[in-house]
Structure 1
Amino acid sequence: MENNENVELKEEHIACVFIDTKKYQKSVGVCFFDYLKYEFLMTEFIDNGYFTALESLFIQKSPFKCFYNSTNDVVDDERILNIFSMCNIQSFVLDKRKYDITNLREEIKLIISQDDDVRNYDKHFELENGCKCLMVLINYLRVNEYKDIHNKCSINIHNINLYMRLDKAAISSLNILPSTKNVSCYNSNMSLLSFLNKCNTSIGYKKLVSWLTQPLRDVTEINKRLDMVELFIKEDDTRNSIFCNFLKRVPELDKLNHYLKEINQNNEVQVNFKYNEEMILKDIIKLYYSILDFKQIYFGLVSIKNRKHEGTLNEMFIKPLHGTLNQFAKLLSMIEMTIDFKEIEENKQYLISTNFDDELKRICNEKNGLMKKIKDHKEDVENDLFCDKYDRRYKRINKEDIKIVNCNTNVFLFRVSKKDCSLVQQQKKKYISIRMNKNEFLFTTNTLKKLCKEYDDCLYVYKTLQSEIVRKTIIAVATYTPVIEKFIDIVSTLDVLISFSVVCYNSPFSYVRPILVENGENVIMKRSRHPLLEIQHNLNSFIPNDIFMNKQKSRLVIVTGPNMGGKSTYIRQTTIICILSQIGMFVPCDYCEIPIFSQIMCRVGASDFQLKGISTFLSEMIEASAIVKNADENSMIIVDELGRGTSTYEGLGISWSFAKYILDNIKCFCLFATHFHEISNLAYDSKGVINRHVETVIDQKQNKICFLYEIKDGASNKSYGVSVAEIAKLPKEVIKKAYEKVEELESAENKYYLKGKLVNTNEASTQTIDEKYEKKIWNYTKIKDEIHQLLSSSNETEFLNKFISKRNYLKEIYI
């Protein structure tokens, strides 16, 4: 294999983008080319100002190179370049004249299969911007890479609405894919991909990455995957045999198919064969054994007696396998007739069977005959050197036989140990010295030279004939590339679903099948857990938590509590469970019911880009802006600590208004973790909001905090930041002063009172009466407002819930 081919296969996709802005609407056309499949994938969609759909598409397909056109808008061009940078894509700007599609129909005729017809692509021509990108890639492959794509390619349409959208922020925040740049509370090497990856094949691993970056939105397809995972969890023998035995022997079928597609275009055997014949032949033999293995898998699947999932099993595996294996029947016969399997088993050499061709058999017999003569000559030399001429006995007892060694220059040489070299050198006329090595002496004879010359000539003819038959065999196998593609899809899907079942079965913690409801109104997770956190630290004592959200009554959940209490874990595990559900994986819960989400959007963690002039707070605001502009009512949003990069009052104001906008305008499910526990008052002002808090206990005597990691109803009225600082071993004087200042600040009821407390002057005593009077007025107003809120309850249950949640607060302000 040539080096440039290896590089090409590591970088499987290239892409082209065309953005057309008309009346402030951005129409985006995209086309990808897959080097392994020789597949063009087109799509076209309307995107927003942040190009979030384009970003999600790049995450799904991961191209290494992309061509694009300038929009002539500085802001749009900068945003597009930022997407390329985030997704590690090489970008190349093109002039719009490169997107000319005048001759596209003629070009498509040339690249599609000879059995195909350009009239089958009428729907593709409706995607005008996608067609422009297709034309660019065709020209690039032919002109810049000198790549022959005639009659090799397929052209398909990619529907982005079939998959959940995940942007770079969600991929990073939820640790979906491994990233060395990802810094979080979890091990950067522990990702959802590495957790789920029990795949035995490279094609299975690639499919798992694809599933994780583009979860499904079709309930029927998701349930098919869940059916198979449930089936394989129960069928121990079938799962173990497939996982431990059969899948481990599958070669890199996608690369083999790529080579065969290249070869398939050569109808005649060429002298300069592009690829390493032996490597391809080895993979063909592995393909042969894989087909035989999958015959056994087929009979194993047919023998499964499970009425519940019988239909899904037939549809996903039994029927496709039956059809594919039947199509492979002639291929198996050809390989069995052509390949010398005995030579593979005994000597690990991949050769054509001599019984396949009479000429090959004759040359092989001649070659073996010459080898026998060489061995006979070796015995004659051995007898001459080591035996007495009269009684034919060995001259010495501890003899070491002469050996035949392979030598590139002389084909074969005789070898004796260094201590026996004197016996050879005594007869210089008969034996020709070659060289002395550290522990051996090499020599030859005129007879051996003659035999080696004959053997070398015979071997050349034998190898040439072998090579010709190998090439013909490979070309014959190359005609099966469409069947191999179907086989790849079956094998990779089975590998991923078996991997899911292995994860669930071997987990020390319970995993259950999620219930997915199209246009569902509820998110219900009982005793849910974070799969990465519990497995990373082997936390047998991981505290599970429930979550219940209703689209009308509790779509916004405000989570308050101290640092390290488990707020971030709680909101992240909820979204990870949603992703697992939509890729067809069981989830770490006792019960799970969720709707189908169109996208998951995250504002989690803090980061800055100082080199780009973007501070931590500005980065937060950019992500928040993208969420409010791009989320829809079928989204799931998680927000963690929004607004902490600025002053307390401004941060509180931004967080409040952001949560309120999501509640009233977007109306989607949202988990909102914050230290601004004042935001919990939203639950009393608006419908659709509930409060939850992380349970924490303070030891009053020792003044220490204890995290229970349990999420309970209601809001937290403290952040316990000083207690966390105490855990970090800040000096006692600092902690003491912090407690005093916190108590002083929290006792202030308004800005005037706060100012009076902070300013230590002699006039403070004269203001005491005014302050008390103002405090009474303020308390009276607050009590009046709270009573008004209580009396506005629509029923007794709502009144009691509000009263219980506000009881302590009312008591405090009354006193």
Structure 2
Amino acid sequence: MCLAPGGLFQKPSTTVRLFNRGDYYTAHGSDALFAAKEVFKSAGVVKMIGAEGKQIQSLVLNKLSFESFVRNLLLVKQYRVEIYVNKGTSKFNDWVVEYKGSPGNLTQFEDLLFSMDVVLSSSVIAVKIGRDTKNKVVGVGFVDVSERRLCVCEFSDDDHFSNLETLVVQVGPKECLLPGTNGSQEFVTIKKVVERSGVLVTPRKKTEFSTDGLAQDLNRLIAFKKGQQENAMAMPETNLTTAVCALNAIIKFLELTTDSSNFNQFSLSTMNWSQYVHLDSAAVKALSLIPPPGVTTTQAHHSVIGLMDRCKTPQGHRLLAQWMKQPLRDLNTIVERQEIVRALMDDLEARQALTQEHLRRIPDIQALARRLLKKKVTMQDLYRIYQVVKKLPQLVKCLDTPDQSATLINVLVEPLKELLTDMLKFQEMIESTIDMDLVDRGEFLVKPDFDEDLQEMRNSMNSIEDQIKKLLSRVASDLNLEAGKTLKLESNNQLGYFFRVTLKEEKVLRDNKKYQTLDTNKSGVRFRNSALADLNSDYQHHKEQYSEQQKAIVAEIIGIAAGYVSTLHYLNDVLARLDVLTSFAEVAATAPKPYVRPIIKSDGLRVMRLKGVRHACLEVQDGVSFIANDAEFIEDEQTFHIITGPNMGGKSTYIRSVGIVVLLAQVGSFVPCDEAEMTLVDAILARVGADDCQVKGMSTFMMEMVETSAILRKATCHSLVIIDELGRGTSTFEGCGLAWAIAEYLAKEVKAFCLFATHFHELATLADEVPSVVNKHVSALIVNNTLTLLYRVRPGMCDQSYGIYVAKMAKFPASVIQMAHEKQSELEHYKNFDFDGTAEERNKIIEDVVTMGDVNPYMVSGRYSVVASYRDCCWSYFGEGDVENIYPMNWYLSNLNRELSWLAARVWLISQSKASICQDSSDAMVPASEVVGLRLNRTSFRGLVIGLCLPNWVRDGEQIIAEFVSSCKGLKDIHSDTELNIRLKELQCRVKASSNLYVQALLASLPS
């Protein structure tokens, strides 16, 4: 017998095939190995089956394991699932797809998934690229089956699909359909963009992305309003021709028109994604917005959503996740949410009643409404809806107090009152049809007075119940127990009626053949005797007959209840909104230090003043005493903050804290600050972390460049940009040069509010170039050779990274720490510097260099010679002619040597590369050489000087280096290239041959 069909076509690794064998399921090949590791955590359960030479791995799954595995595949792993069934005979196999599902298409698995009250939302997008006369047009279709929504939108985009990535983050689809296959470059690029947000990509035929049959399908699916023309193609949304083609692909993929319960149930609208703050996948990851896979509820503080989610209902959980990924740009909506959060924070009694009593017992109304629409509900489901309706008066009473906020009354209380009125008839219908006396026993039956046959069956069931109760007394007497206390009569849906005694009384059943034990657990021993077994059998038989007889009545009740589906959707939305805002209030009120309401404005001078900023996730962790800091941005005054400081000093935490505060503020929540005032931002862009993506062939540095490139394209003056440790993934020279160029561009050109954390301390000099750049550092102390991190953000720059001290804190071996100190000392102070010659020759060289520096007008800044500054430093270490203290002098000399080598390098450029040095576009041009080759502006030259000299800088020489850089500004006063060449060639004679290495590095960095 061939168990695994060999004729099936190849499948992607993200698709799992399972085979329905009736009482069990099987997986084969790679799927068997995968299932074994996921379900049983071991490959030892996999068996080899088949004839020798044709054996294949096989795994058997019982129904319980199958259901758990499928839930994990669809909801956690984001895989596709295909279930096959054999339509042939045992001799001739004919395996065909019985049903299939994917993260965005859960329709055929609804009964399995929703039976467990799983909190999920499945939605699908499809993307098609079109062209207008100039630009690339991205058409997107979106379908959310659970909310009965069809959406379309079109927009222009760049070659990196930056706007598409933002939309994917905002709508949070589970699956994305793309036309064609992996062959086209466009497909590959979009696939990478979508997968960065954790969305499964499914290729579909290009022919599905058309308007074929679209008009007919939309006319069936759309719920037209009363008086509206029932012609979908007359709606303005269908004018977005590229987007509706994408929408048509989703309709075909989900097979929406094959299920009549979908007819006239969907709305069609245009997605206005520009109403939300721009968030890309890098920002979501940098701010730890979404819980990482595998995080449990006890680790909620590991993400912002996990921290803020104190919701009690499934619909509340879904809406909160949606809101957190869609920060608002509309001030009125933000203020509305803030006002409700404030009212709930102030009303402790109402907030506690909502969280501990009312909201906790509300089921997933959206899921129940969907099942009601498909006529798949039970009487128990209708009773659960009835319980929600019955609770509405208590909710209204809880919120509708005399001193309550008018905003809360209008947004939440009044809709609840309207819903209570709309659902009144439903409540009356349920109360008149369901036998409430049996509900407490878990039985949901129609009242017997609806039908004579039902009444007769009910009388028989009551008679049996009376006999069972009498039997309890006889058994209690027989066992010498007290009925209702030490011996109890109980029932459930699985076993029916049974007796139970505690484990303490279990000995009365030993060796007593009149009683048969059903099971034993910590609650006691469940058992029956033959009389109870017979009565229970009769009762279950009558109960089944009763259920069969009431089917027609139940079907009629369900049909009437289905008319309330739209009202239930509205009720679901109102309760979800109440749940989320209550959650915001609960988090804000119960934080270690209560959150505050941010003052937000939409226009005027752009500012951001945050006092006492705290990291929302870190401050709630056990054993953490968080150090709060301030952050202030003012348009044109201080927009760009360069933050330096030691490793582990809190730089990353600080910049993330500001990003989280801004996000929470524009979601409508209170924020973890002492005071907060800010102007609305249009985007939160981030480049944080040092991750790679080996699966996609992207190194750490490449990931840095991709994310930073996106920031440079998207950022505007209204954005918040967060950059941490840019440039670490390549050489120090290139890293610093890139960091400088990017920082300068953001500060001077974009003028966005930016937090730029770095270990390139040399970037601090950018504050001398751009007035809006400010330096800050996180403070630390070294006491008794031990590093103490203070976590305070203070003005000014930090001159050390304290990396060796952090290594010491990480318990590095003492020998490694000692060697690191020695190498650091050698590199910084050049103690290995060796000079051939006598002391007299050494001093003569120093004197010559000093003299030459004194007469060189191009080495003077602020009327004071840079070389003279070196000379003073040298003489401060030793007296004239003191050969014993030559090492400090050599250190200063070698630093000067490098500076002069840069001037020599410029001579080399002029003479060998025929390059000219020009000023910024705003400055006059310096006279050029006769033959002009490469051109290098003054700003770029200074940046390259800083980047390439970086490894040889030392802390004590920073001021002198800064003066040297300032002296470069004086180059515009040069009157003759000839004079420049003569002067610099004289200095070139005094530099070492190593200067040519610097020149080569400079040439390699120049634009071609």
Give TM-score, length-normalised by structure 2. Answer: 0.66
Q: Structure 2: how far apart are the matches of 1:98 and 1:812?
A: 65
CA contact (8 A) 2:335 2:668 kept: yes
Cα displacement (A) at 1:43: 2.1
Letter of the structure 1 residue corresponding to residue 333 of structure 2: E
Q: Structure 2: how far apart are the matches of 1:89 and 1:221?
A: 29
Q: Structure 1: how far apart are the matches of 2:488 and 2:594?
A: 64
Q: 1:716 aligns with which of 784, 798, 814?
A: 798
| 1:762 counterpart = 2:856 | no
**Deviation per CA, 1:480-508, whole angstroms, max 9, x where unpaired?**
01111111111011111111111121122
For residue 237 of structure 2, what is the aligned residue in structure 1? Answer: 124
Cα displacement (A) at 1:741: 4.5
For residue 690 of structure 1, what is the aligned residue in structure 2? Answer: 774
When residues 338 and 764 of structure 1 are mapped into structure 2, their CA distance, relative to the original with a 3 A threshold, is farther
What percentage of residue pairs aligned between the two structures are identical? 30
CA contact (8 A) 2:300 2:307 kept: no
Q: Structure 2: how far apart are the matches of 1:524 and 1:333?
A: 56
For residue 315 of structure 1, what is the aligned residue in structure 2? Answer: 410
- Secondary structure, aligned partner of 1:536: coil
Letter of the structure 1 residue corresponding to residue 196 of structure 2: M
Letter of the structure 2 residue corresponding to residue 498 of structure 1: T
- Secondary structure, aligned partner of 2:321: helix
For residue 639 of structure 2, what is the aligned residue in structure 1? Answer: 555
Cα displacement (A) at 1:4: 2.2
- Secondary structure, aligned partner of 1:534: coil
Q: Structure 2: how far apart are the matches of 1:198 and 1:181?
A: 19
When residues 370 and 324 of structure 1 are mapped into structure 2, their CA distance, relative to the original with a 3 A threshold, is closer
Q: Structure 2: how far apart are the matches of 1:62 and 1:200?
A: 22
Q: 1:303 aligns with which of 394, 401, 404?
A: 401
When residues 24 and 77 of structure 1 are mapped into structure 2, their CA distance, relative to the original with a 3 A threshold, is farther
For residue 66 of structure 1, what is the aligned residue in structure 2? Answer: 176
Letter of the structure 2 residue corresponding to residue 179 of structure 1: P
CA contact (8 A) 1:178 1:191 kept: yes
CA contact (8 A) 1:246 1:294 kept: no
**Deviation per CA, 1:551-588, whole angstroms, max 9, x where unpaired?**
21111111111111111111010000001101111111
| 1:506 counterpart = 2:600 | no
For residue 41 of structure 1, what is the aligned residue in structure 2? Answer: 151
Larger RCO, structure (CA 8 Å, separation 6 or more): 1
For residue 987 of structure 2, what is the aligned residue in structure 1? Answer: none
Letter of the structure 2 residue corresponding to residue 760 of structure 1: D
Q: Structure 2: how far apart are the matches of 1:505 and 1:400?
A: 51
Cα displacement (A) at 1:298: 1.2
Q: Structure 1: how far apart are the matches of 2:680 and 2:109?
A: 43
When residues 728 and 768 of structure 1 are mapped into structure 2, their CA distance, relative to the original with a 3 A threshold, is farther
Q: Structure 2: how far apart are the matches of 1:379 and 1:534?
A: 58
For residue 797 of structure 1, what is the aligned residue in structure 2? Answer: none
| 1:341 counterpart = 2:436 | yes
For residue 742 of structure 2, what is the aligned residue in structure 1? Answer: 658
Q: Structure 2: how far apart are the matches of 1:574 and 1:105?
A: 49
Q: 1:158 aligns with which of 271, 286, 294?
A: 271
Please, which moves more after superposition, 452-461 or 193-202? 452-461
Cα displacement (A) at 1:27: 1.4
Q: Structure 2: how far apart are the matches of 1:192 and 1:439?
A: 47
Cα displacement (A) at 1:633: 2.2
When residues 452 and 202 of structure 1 are mapped into structure 2, their CA distance, relative to the original with a 3 A threshold, is closer
Letter of the structure 2 residue corresponding to residue 344 of structure 1: V
Matches within 5 A, 1:173-572: 173-180=286-293, 190-263=302-375, 275=376, 277=378, 281-306=379-404, 309-310=405-406, 312-345=407-440, 347-369=441-463, 459-519=543-603, 521-540=606-625, 542-572=626-656
For residue 636 of structure 1, what is the aligned residue in structure 2? Answer: 720
- Secondary structure, aligned partner of 2:573: helix
When residues 5 and 461 of structure 1 are mapped into structure 2, their CA distance, relative to the original with a 3 A threshold, is same
Cα displacement (A) at 1:739: 4.0
Letter of the structure 2 residue corresponding to residue 149 of structure 1: N
Q: 2:861 aligns with which of 784, 788, 802?
A: 784
- Structure 1: segments with no counterpart, 5+ residues: 264-274, 387-393, 425-432, 748-753, 789-805
CA contact (8 A) 1:166 1:600 kept: yes
Matches within 5 A, 1:595-744: 595-699=679-783, 702-732=784-814, 734-743=816-825
When residues 773 and 502 of structure 1 are mapped into structure 2, their CA distance, relative to the original with a 3 A threshold, is farther
CA contact (8 A) 1:530 1:569 kept: yes
Q: Structure 1: how far apart are the matches of 2:497 and 2:290?
A: 55
For residue 285 of structure 2, what is the aligned residue in structure 1? Answer: 172
Letter of the structure 1 residue corresponding to residue 389 of structure 2: I
Q: Structure 2: how far apart are the matches of 1:628 and 1:409?
A: 63
Q: What is the RMSD of the two structures over their aligned residues, measured on CA atoms? A: 4.2
For residue 136 of structure 1, what is the aligned residue in structure 2? Answer: 249
CA contact (8 A) 1:683 1:690 kept: yes
Q: Structure 2: how far apart are the matches of 1:782 and 1:692?
A: 30
Q: Structure 2: how far apart are the matches of 1:106 and 1:3?
A: 24
For residue 266 of structure 1, what is the aligned residue in structure 2? Answer: none
Matches within 5 A, 1:53-92: 53-70=163-180, 74-92=184-202
Give TM-score, length-normalised by structure 1. Answer: 0.81
Q: Structure 2: how far apart are the matches of 1:405 and 1:810?
A: 87
Q: Structure 1: how far apart are the matches of 2:615 and 2:381?
A: 41
Please, which moves more after superposition, 687-696 or 349-358? 349-358
CA contact (8 A) 2:329 2:666 kept: yes
Please, which moves more after superposition, 7-16 or 481-490? 7-16
Q: Structure 2: how far apart are the matches of 1:672 and 1:109?
A: 53
Cα displacement (A) at 1:408: 13
When residues 775 and 296 of structure 1 are mapped into structure 2, their CA distance, relative to the original with a 3 A threshold, is farther
When residues 484 and 737 of structure 1 are mapped into structure 2, their CA distance, relative to the original with a 3 A threshold, is same
Q: Structure 1: how far apart are the matches of 2:311 and 2:510?
A: 53
**Deviation per CA, 1:598-617, whole angstroms, max 9, x where unpaired?**
22111111012234332211
Q: Structure 1: how far apart are the matches of 2:366 and 2:493?
A: 36
CA contact (8 A) 1:179 1:188 kept: no
Letter of the structure 2 residue corresponding to residue 349 of structure 1: E
- Secondary structure, aligned partner of 1:477: helix
When residues 576 and 762 of structure 1 are mapped into structure 2, their CA distance, relative to the original with a 3 A threshold, is same
For residue 50 of structure 1, what is the aligned residue in structure 2? Answer: 160
Q: Structure 2: how far apart are the matches of 1:515 and 1:710?
A: 25
**Deviation per CA, 1:712-733, whole angstroms, max 9, x where unpaired?**
1111222222332333344555
When residues 762 and 584 of structure 1 are mapped into structure 2, their CA distance, relative to the original with a 3 A threshold, is same
- Secondary structure, aligned partner of 2:392: helix
CA contact (8 A) 2:179 2:203 kept: yes
Q: Structure 2: how far apart are the matches of 1:555 and 1:714?
A: 15
Q: Structure 1: how far apart are the matches of 2:657 and 2:528?
A: 71
When residues 73 and 141 of structure 1 are mapped into structure 2, their CA distance, relative to the original with a 3 A threshold, is closer
CA contact (8 A) 1:524 1:547 kept: yes
- Structure 2: segments with no counterpart, 5+ residues: 1-66, 68-106, 115-119, 501-507, 866-954, 965-1008
Cα displacement (A) at 1:536: 1.6
Q: Structure 2: how far apart are the matches of 1:375 and 1:545?
A: 71
Cα displacement (A) at 1:55: 2.0
**Deviation per CA, 1:659-685, whole angstroms, max 9, x where unpaired?**
011112222111000111111111111
Q: Structure 1: how far apart are the matches of 2:656 and 2:597?
A: 19
Letter of the structure 2 residue corresponding to residue 313 of structure 1: L
Q: Structure 2: how far apart are the matches of 1:759 and 1:187?
A: 55
Q: Structure 1: how far apart are the matches of 2:729 and 2:838?
A: 34
